[in-house]
Each structure stands twice: as structure tokens, then as C-alpha cells.
Amino acid sequence: MPRIYKLKKRAASLAETRRRIVAATVHLHQMRGAANTSISAIAELAGVERLTVYRHFPDERSLLKGCTSHYLDLNPPPNPDPWREIVDAGQRLHLGLSEIYAYHRRTEPMFARAARDLEENPILREVLENFFLRWDRMRDVLASAWESPGSKNPLIRALIGHAMTFQTWRSLVREQDLDDAQAVDLMTKVVHCIASSELLQT
């Protein structure tokens, strides 16, 4: 029994150390971005030695995986499955964009910096591959309401995909001073106008 107790206590200690390292990494990535976060800074904030960080996360990929997994567990993207129940294309898009823009607002400190890091860090893009695939699924669910059964419209998909992005949201609310509701209304109307135009009939 004493040995089992010691093993459980050691496992709990290791798990707590890993949690502190991940939490410190998430915090620093939000404040500085991944490119400007050093192992020394992570170790200092977590209250551990640099070697301890490397024991838990031996390379950049494992550290980014741990960080993004933890962050996305706390901040999961919207679930598009309930959107399918809305038949009207405009109403479905309005609901989807409302949830997406609320997500962008909530996660802005992280993704404002991650957007820059993604351009220069192929490992980060690889780690976030499943995250991007989830956004593709959200786009597909929203676009399918505007399409005929069994067909795909690349223009509508491109426009909705553009409307969904963090960069589009940030441009509308931070640079053009719209609130989230106004931004959702605007992009829903834009998609509706394009979908109804002759551009998509040719």
C-alpha cells in the first residue's frame, strides 16, 4: 500500500507540473504569441526549471500540441450540427455567424497573435489541422442551405468561408466599428444578395 500511495502521489505531482507548464504557455501565447515565448519564460511563470519543461515537452511540436489541446478544451469552436435543423438559408447563416463571431470575440487575445504566428510557423499549422477542418465543416453546413441537393457552389462557399474568418470579424468590429450583431446582419445580407444575383446563375 505505501508504494501504491507513493506512485499515485508522484503521478499527481507530475500531472500538476504539466498543468502548470501548459497554463503558463497558454498565458504567454495570449500575451506575446508563440513566436515570442521562450522556454525560459514558460519555466519561470510555471515555477519550474527549464529542464522540467523539456522533460514534459521535449520539442516544439509536443509543447504546441499540449497548449492548443488545453486551450481548445476550454474554448471549443461552435458545434454546427444544430444549425442543420434550420431550413431557411439566411436564418441558418445568421445563427452560425452569431455563434462564430461570439467565439472570435471570446478568443480574440489568443487568435490575434496566433494569426501572425501561423504565417511563419508550419508546426503550428500542422498542430491546428483538425481545428481548421472543423471550420471547413462549419462552412459546409452553412453553405449547404444555399445549394441544391448533391451540388456545391464554390462561390457561395468561398464567400461564407470569408465571412467566418477571424480576420473578417476583426476588420468589421475593430476597424469599421460595428458591433457583433451589425457585423452578422451585414455579412448575412451580403451572402443573400450574391446568392440571389445573376453572378451565381451563370
Question: 55: domain range?
Answer: 2-73
Domain boundary among 57, 73, 89: 73
**What one-character-per-residue DSSP string does 103-130 give?**
HHHHHHHHHHHHHHHHHH-HHHHHHTHH
Dump pLDDT digits (tens) for 163-197: 999 999 999 999 999 999 999 999 999 999 988 87
Which residue carries 462552412 as its cell? 139
Residues 196, 137, single domain; the answer is yes
Q: What is the CATH number of the domain that holds 22?
A: 1.10.357.10
Residues 80, 45, single domain; the answer is no
Query: Is pLDDT above 60 for 201?
Result: no
Query: If we measure between CA atoms, which residue out of 104, 84, 116 comes closest to residue 163?
Result: 104
Dump pLDDT digits (tens) for 85-102: 999 999 999 999 999 999
Q: How far apart are CA 17 and CA 111, in angstroms?
A: 26
Residues 56, 109, single domain; the answer is no
